[in-house]
């Protein structure tokens, strides 16, 4: 079943030091970030233990967000909770990659 009218914002973080303490700090920050009202649903994940040529699993933590619209995603980007998350947690990562998608 395809979700209708959904904007997906999927963020992948590579930690500067990929250890349990830094991963925990980032996940705690993402859990706080989940309180942004514009977010419909979210998923915090770590790489699954899958080993196939097509699987990218070098990241440390992923953050998948579901919004009702691109406009809601824009609201999230400037929400004070999001801006505070970046301020408090950006020292933990050295790379972030984002994949945004809409219904085909």
- What tens digit of pLDDT does each residue of 65-79 get? 999 999 999 999 999
Predicted pLDDT at 1: 63
Predicted pLDDT at 2: 60
Complete edge-to-edge strand list for the sheet that includes strand 7-15: 41-45, 61-67, 7-15, 93-102
Instruction: Set out the domains of the chain in order of their start, with CATH numbers.
Output: 15-47+61-102 (3.30.70.100)
Show the low-confidence residues of the chain (pLDDT under 50).
none
Alpha helix (H) residue ranges in the chain: 20-33, 70-78, 80-89
Q: Which two tokens stand for residue 37?
A: 């009202």
């Amino acid at each position: 079943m395809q979700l209708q009218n959904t904007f997906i914002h999927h963020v992948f973080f590579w930690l500067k030091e990929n250890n349990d303490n830094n991963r925990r700090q980032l996940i705690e920050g993402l859990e706080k970030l989940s309180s942004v009202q514009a977010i419909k649903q979210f998923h915090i994940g770590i790489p699954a233990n899958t080993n196939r040529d097509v699987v990218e699993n070098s990241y440390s933590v992923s953050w998948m967000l579901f919004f009702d619209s691109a406009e809601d995603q824009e609201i999230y980007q400037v929400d004070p909770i999001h801006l505070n998350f970046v301020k408090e947690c950006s020292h933990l990562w050295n790379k972030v990659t984002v994949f945004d998608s809409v219904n085909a």
